[in-house]
């Protein structure tokens, strides 16, 4: 149905050049409404329910043009500022820590990172330090597992809930998720956002242990522990534009 708009079959996203060169469209069987979201490092995505008429999609895009333009500017500014340069400092707002990043040539042809206090040294094999992003991702995942897992466990105890398993990954489209089996997945990118947003995300996913959908009953469960969840949910959605480019740089 969306072939003329650039949407591929089987839910794959393709540039929708007819309306916006920076907007991709993805058809989803799970989606119940149209959703605009930022997909790091520099993509805007429109998720549409399967079978949605193209005219409805066009009208939705026109209605949300201001949001699309603003989000694109923020993504462009962030990408321009970060570029593909090596970060010199990393600020993890969630845990209130800032690290100085240094680069050096690996002496034994084995790329690795080493943290000493608030200094992070990347020993790179590539003379242009192109293996830096991979090392940074490894370091970030360790920090995320070290801090996010016990933090979630403490919040789960306060909520009277217990996930079957907790895993931490680098994800591009979700801050977190909860499976029907009670497995909660957390995005390591949460370390870049404020603590109150991390806590909201924890309560959100823990609430799915009771209600797996997003019904009124689910939101009442969230509101019990986070009364201002609506404000925090909007802030968390907007926070994608602050995730550094290097986290998703797969060239190395």
- 216-247 per-position pLDDT tens digit: 999 999 999 999 999 999 999 888 878 887 88
Q: Which of 8-12, 24-28, 104-108, 132-136 is predicted with the least confidence, judged by mean pLDDT?
A: 8-12
The set of residues, in sequence order, having a beta carbon less than 8 Å from that of 20 and lying 6+ positions away, is 44, 61, 68
Alpha helices in the chain (DSSP H): 54-63, 65-82, 132-159, 195-207, 216-225, 229-238
The dihedrals phi and psi of 195, each to the nearest 5 degrees, come to -55, -40
Task: Flag whether pLDDT at 74 surpasses 80.
Answer: no
For residues 146-166, give the mean pLDDT.
97
d(CA 23, CA 248): 18
Task: Flag whether pLDDT at 8 surpasses 80.
Answer: no
| pLDDT band, very low/low/confident/very high, at 18 (cuts 50, 70, 90) | very low
The whole-number pLDDT of residue 162 equals: 94
| pLDDT band, very low/low/confident/very high, at 193 (cuts 50, 70, 90) | very high
For residues 148-162, give the mean pLDDT.
96
Neighbours of 186 (CB within 10 A): 26
| pLDDT band, very low/low/confident/very high, at 5 (cuts 50, 70, 90) | very low
For residues 60-71, give the mean pLDDT.
84
The set of residues, in sequence order, having a beta carbon less than 8 Å from that of 197 and lying 6+ positions away, is 94, 190, 232, 235, 236, 239
Task: Flag whether pLDDT at 101 surpasses 60.
Answer: yes
What pTM does this model have?
0.73
The whole-number pLDDT of residue 75 equals: 66
- 37-49 per-position pLDDT tens digit: 776 656 778 889 9
Task: Flag whether pLDDT at 30 surpasses 80.
Answer: no
Domains of the chain are 3-82 (no CATH), 89-248 (3.30.2010.10)
The whole-number pLDDT of residue 21 equals: 52
d(CA 8, CA 3): 6
């Amino acid at each position: 149905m969306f072939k003329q708009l650039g949407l591929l079959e089987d839910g794959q996203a393709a540039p929708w050049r007819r309306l916006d060169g920076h907007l991709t469209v993805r058809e989803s069987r799970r989606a119940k409404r149209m959703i605009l979201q930022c997909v790091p490092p520099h993509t805007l995505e429109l998720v549409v329910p399967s079978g949605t008429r193209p005219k409805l999609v066009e009208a939705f895009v026109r209605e949300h043009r201001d949001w699309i333009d603003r989000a694109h500017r923020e993504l462009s500014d962030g990408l321009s500022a970060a570029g593909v340069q090596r970060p010199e400092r990393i600020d993890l707002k969630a845990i209130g820590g800032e690290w100085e990043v240094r680069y050096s040539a690996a002496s034994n042809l084995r790329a690795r990172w080493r943290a000493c206090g608030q200094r992070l040294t990347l020993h790179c094999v590539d003379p242009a330090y192109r293996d830096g992003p991979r090392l940074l991702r490894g370091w970030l995942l360790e920090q995320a597992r070290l801090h996010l897992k016990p933090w979630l466990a403490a919040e789960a105890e306060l909520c009277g809930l217990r996930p079957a398993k907790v895993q931490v990954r680098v994800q591009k489209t979700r801050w977190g998720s909860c499976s029907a089996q009670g497995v909660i997945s957390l995005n390591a990118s949460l370390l870049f956002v404020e603590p109150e947003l991390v806590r909201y995300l924890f309560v959100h996913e823990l609430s799915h242990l009771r209600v797996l959908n997003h019904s009124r009953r689910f939101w009442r469960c969230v509101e019990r522990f986070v009364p201002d969840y609506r404000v925090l949910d909007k802030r968390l959605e907007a926070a994608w534009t602050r995730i550094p480019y290097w986290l998703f740089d797969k060239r190395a």
